Amino acid sequence: MKTLHLLRHGATPWNATGQLNSTTDIGLSDRGRQEILAIAPLVQGLALDRVMCSPRRRAQETAQLLALPLPINLDDRLRELDFGCFEGKTPAELAQDLPFQQWYWDANPQVPVSVESFESVADRAQAFLQDMATLPDNTILAIAHGALIRILLCHSVLGMNPHTYRRLRSNFNFRM
């Protein structure tokens, strides 16, 4: 039986301010490094056969901090949803941004030209899953991003419209 563990990268400076982050390649904050070091023993205890990772710096730094005895395989399909023109904006800015509000909350959103569609993310996440299913490895860790993970779960696991990822909340917080 195959097992896929999904892990979101540790916190970044932009997470602390609520800024949308996809293509801007920033590393982890001190808090993010502490988060990953705190869960490293748990992840190290998994009988992993393969580690897959988004090519973004924050995900690679997460993989390196886990100090796993396996090579880190980069896969561009694990990158975050491209927020395009909304990249770097704060919650206060987004609350006043009508195109963002329509894109984020409408059931059938009009996707701004610079923003990646939810369907595109779902398609690449599904392709990633299909490729992982063909590997001889039984236990795989995929280090990725919040929206990508939630879209993957909504579309590929739960069979829901990828737009509904916005309603799926994941608890990425834990006590240290």
Active site residues: 9, 80
Say how far apart CA 138 and CA 67 lie, in whole Å: 20
Radius of gyration over alpha carbons of the chain, in Å? Answer: 16
Contact in structure between 13 and 19 (CB atoms under 8 Å): no
Beta strands per DSSP E along the chain = 3-8, 50-53, 72-74, 139-144
- Position 92, amino acid: A
Residues 6+ apart with CB under 8 A from 151: 81, 118, 121, 122, 125, 162, 165
- Cα–Cα distance between 79 and 56 in angstroms, integer? 7
- Distance from C-alpha of 84 to C-alpha of 168, rounded to nearest angstrom: 22
Q: Please name the residue ranges forming H helices in 45-165.
A: 57-66, 91-95, 98-105, 118-134, 146-152
